[in-house]
Copies of this chain bind each other. A is one copy, B any other.
Amino acid sequence: MNDPHSALPEWQVSTWLNTPRPLTLQGLRGRVVLLHSFQMLCPGCVAYGLPQTERVRRAFPESDLAVIGLHTVFEHHAVMTIEALRAFIHEYRWSFPIGVDEPDGRGGPSLTMTLYGLRGTPSCLVLDRQGRVRMHHFGQIDDLVLGALLGRLIAGPSLRLDDDAALGIHADQTPTGDAVGCAPGSCGLPCDASIADARSK
């Protein structure tokens, strides 16, 4: 992950829902990709992350933008099962493809979560048509700012690699840190950062 402009490695998904066949980053190359990392018991994901992801899916043509959910469990593993996720998706009518991130088997953050350096949920990654990460955001992000980035990338053949500054969007900076957790303000109380150092595994 040292070079922000290198293509993101493939995710490690054990099960796909809401799609007739497994999806790969390689297979999405050529389209802009929004990857929404969530947990079904994460209040901020339910209140704003997932509804925003659903709105994005409806606002852009699928030929331009692929919208993908990734269920990245890092806590309460025993109850955030695939069966529970299926019921959650059914009740909330999420319509975009959702991959179940591969568990690490030791009760820590799931594999892709660690691979991509995701700090917690909700997180949002945006990739350009070449598969390069153009946004990596932990927490809530404004519709206007997200829409502008997606619009720019969809119109993007004109964007040069050294053109990041020209993206010119005043997005919140993702604070750095090692703890995996829920985003500030997405819980009623400060989160239990019990899985600190997960990224260093």
Number of interface residues of A (CB under 8 A): 52
A41, A76, A143, A147 — which one has the most chain B CB atoms within 10 A of its CB? A147
> Which chain A residues numbered 85 to 102 have a C-beta less than 8 Å away from chain B?
87-88, 91-93
Closest chain-B Cβ to A165's Cβ sits at a distance in Å of 10
> Which chain A residues numbered 139 to 160 have a C-beta less than 8 Å away from chain B?
142-159
Tell me the interface secondary structure of chain A in the complex: helix
> Which chain A residues numbered 144 to 184 have a C-beta less than 8 Å away from chain B?
144-159, 168-170, 182
Alpha-carbon separation in the docked complex, A154 to B79 (Å): 40
Asked if A16 lies at the interface with its beta carbon under 8 angstroms from chain B, I say: no
User: Given the complex, which residues of B lie within 8 Å of A61, measured CB to CB?
Assistant: 168, 170
Which residues on A are within 8 Å of B, measured CB to CB?
Answer: 41-43, 46-47, 52, 55-56, 58-61, 63-64, 75-76, 78-81, 83-84, 87-88, 91-93, 142-159, 168-170, 182, 187-189
